[in-house]
Amino acid sequence: MRIAAVVPHAAAGGRSAERRLVNGALALGAAGVSVDIFSDRAAPGAPRRLGAGVAIRRLAPHRVQRDLIARHEAYDVIHAFGLPAMRMIAAPGTAPRRVFSPYGDRWSQPAPVHAMHRAWPRAAAMLVGAVDTIVCGSDREAARVRRDAPELADRVRVVRPGVDAEALARAEPLPINRAVVLAVGPLIRSPRLVRVVGALASLDERFILVVLGDGPARRRLRGVVADLGLADRVRFLGDVTLEQRRRWMRTASVLLPITEYEDVEMLALEAAAIGKPLIIPDSADHAGGWEYHSGGVVRVISGPSSPLAIADAIRETAVLHGPSESRTGVRSWAAYAHEMLSVYRLTIHGLREIEAPPDEEPHGEPAVGSTPVERQGRVL
C-alpha cells in the first residue's frame, strides 16, 4: 500500500500535531506501508528518508495539485491533513481515494477558537464532495465534525494516536530540585498565556515555569514575566529536540498546554505514559474536576480560568501527585498503525462499516495484492 500525506508543514520535533503525523507515518512504514509526506518544510531536491518506507518531499503549494494529478496512480490513498491541504487535492482526478484529518482546524481546536472560522460552512461543503473518509484523533473531534456537518457523519472514523512510552521511560530527568510546571505549546496570542504566567506569581518559590514552544507572542510574554518580577523563575526554551522534550517531561511535576492550540489528546497520552498529571485550563468540553483521560489523571478547569484558579490547580496537583512512575499498557504507535491500515483498506474498497478486513495480519502488515497499486503488479 502506498499513501501520500499532504500537510502544510511537518517536523519530527515540532508541535504535537506534527509529531503525531510523523510518528504515525513511521509506524505505518514499520508495518510495511510506503508513505510520502508532502511538506513545505522539506528541503528542495531529493526526498529525505525519515525511516523505513517513509520519505518527506518538498511541497510547492502552487504545484502540488498538478503534481498529484500527474502522480495519483502511484498512490492508493491521498491523506490531507488540514483544510489548506484538502483544498490542494480537492480537484477531480487527484486520487482514487481521499482521506481528511483535522490538523489545526476548527474541529481540532477548543470551542473558544471556533469563532475565528467564519467560512467553515463552505469548507464543510467542499469536504462533502471531495473526501471519502474523515479520520479524527479523538471522540471530541469526531463529535464536532458530526455536529457541524451531519452529512459527513457516516464518513467519520476515530483513530487515536499512540505514544512512544519506552522512549519516554528511558529519558533521564534533569537534576532540578524544584517543582517544574511544564507549559507546552506554540506561543500564539491567547489570554491563557498571561494567565499561566500570572498563576506562577501566586505560587511559592519552589515552583518554576518552563515553557516549551515558540511563536510570535514570545516577546510579549517575556515582557509580562519581567513586569511581574518572575524572570528568575521562568525559562523560555523554544522548540527543543524530541529528546530534550522527553527529559523535561520526566522532570516536570505538572504538565499543561499553554495555549488552546496545543494537541491536548497527544499531551494527555504522553503524560499518562510517564505517570504525570495534566492540567487543562479553559475547558469548554468538560466539567471541572478530576478526570481519568487516556490512561492518566487530568485536572480540568472549566470555563475561562483565572490565574488564581490555575495556581490552585497546580498547587493541588503537585501535592496529591508526588514522584511518578512510568506506566504500562499505554496505547502504542503500532496499535495506531494497525487501525489506520484497516481504515485505509475500507476506504480503498469503498466500505463504510468498521470491521477487521479478512486479510488483516496480526500486527497490521498489509497483505500483498490487497490494494489497487499492488494488484497492478507493482508492490510499492
For 95, the 3-state DSSP assignment is: coil
> What's phi and psi for 18, nearest 5 deg?
-70, -40
Decide if pLDDT at 97 tops 50. yes
Distance between CA 73 and CA 93 in Å, rounded? 10
Q: In the chain, which residues fall in CATH 3.40.50.2000?
A: 2-162+332-375, 166-320
Distance between CA 52 and CA 34 in Å, rounded? 8
Region 2-162+332-375: CATH code:
3.40.50.2000
Distance between CA 39 and CA 43 in Å, rounded? 9
User: Considering only CA atoms, which of 236, 225, 217, 207 is closest in space to residue 313?
Assistant: 207
Least confident interval from 244-248, 272-276, 308-312, 326-330: 326-330
* Residue 278 host element (H or E): strand 278-283
- Beta-strand runs (E) in 62-199: 77-81, 98-101, 133-136, 156-158, 179-184
Decide if pLDDT at 92 tops 60. no
Q: What is the largest CA-CA distance in the chain?
A: 67
Question: Given 3.40.50.620, 3.40.50.2000, 3.40.190.10, 3.40.50.1370, which CATH number is that of 166-320?
Answer: 3.40.50.2000
Residue type (1 letter), 85: A
pLDDT for position 259? 81
- 230: cell is 518572575
Which of 294 and 130 is assigned the larger pLDDT?
130
Distance between CA 154 and CA 138 in Å, rounded? 16
> What's phi and psi for 100, nearest 5 deg?
-125, 140
State in Å, rounded, how far the first CA of the chain is from the last one: 7
pLDDT for position 94? 53
CB atoms within 10 A of CB 247: 17
Q: Is the dihedral of CA 322, 328, 334, 338 positive or negative?
A: negative
- 222: cell is 517575556
Q: Which of 13-17, 258-262, 274-278 has the highest mean pLDDT?
A: 274-278
Is residue 225 a contact partner of residue 231, using CB atoms and an 8 Å limit?
A: yes
Is residue 319 a contact partner of residue 299, using CB atoms and an 8 Å limit?
A: no
pLDDT in tens, 212-268: 988 888 999 999 999 999 999 999 999 888 899 999 999 999 999 888 777 777 888
pLDDT band at 114 (very low <50, low <70, confident <90, very high): very low
pTM of the predicted protein model: 0.74
User: Could you give the strand order of the β-sheet that contains 207-212, starting from the edge strand earlier in sequence?
Assistant: 234-238, 207-212, 179-184, 254-257, 278-283, 296-302, 289-293
Average pLDDT over residues 318-328: 60
User: Residue with C-alpha cell 506561543?
Assistant: 187
Cross-strand partners of 11: none
Q: How far is CA 161 from CA 29, 92, 148, 333, in A?
A: 15, 30, 23, 7
For 34, the 3-state DSSP assignment is: strand
User: Considering only CA atoms, which of 74, 80, 66, 124 is closest in space to residue 96?
Assistant: 74
